[in-house]
Amino acid sequence: QVQLVESGGGLVQAGGSLRLSCAASGYTFSSYAMGWFRQAPGKEREFVSAISRSGGSTYYSDSVKGRFTISRDNAKNTVYLQMNNLRPEDTAVYYCARGSAATTLRVGGTTVDYWGQGTQVTVSS
């Protein structure tokens, strides 16, 4: 069965960095786009970033552009989210997601067919 397992979350001070990982199993990883979403307390889940099947195309929300970098290693069945210059407003549960195309993942969560369990990121001021 399809499994997406996130890791790398934690507590960091504003201005710091974290690297999230999502290990995928149960399907042909390189056949699907991957993305990251996040949900802060009391808010709806929102799109953060997406990457195409080959890794050649990437997309970011305006709020993280220039600070976050998404990448994937198809040999390791893993997608990453490098988060730099973190801000308190980045505090949220971050979810790994699978979709058919990165261009549709950026539209929102309705295009996701599998979700990870989430990892908490907390940025202190």
6, 65, 81, 123 from 117: Cα distances, Å: 7, 24, 16, 20
pLDDT number for residue 109: 75
Interval 11-17 mean pLDDT: 98
Of 76, 79, 67, 88, which is closest to residue 20 (Cα–Cα)? 79
Higher-confidence position of 109 and 15 = 15
In the chain, the amino acid numbered 60 is: Y
pLDDT tens-place string over residues 59-116 = 999 999 999 999 999 999 999 999 999 999 999 999 999 999 999 998 877 889 999 9
**Which H/E stretch holds residue 16?**
none
For every residue of 32-57, DSSP letters joined together read SEEEEEEE-TTS--EEEEEE-SSS--
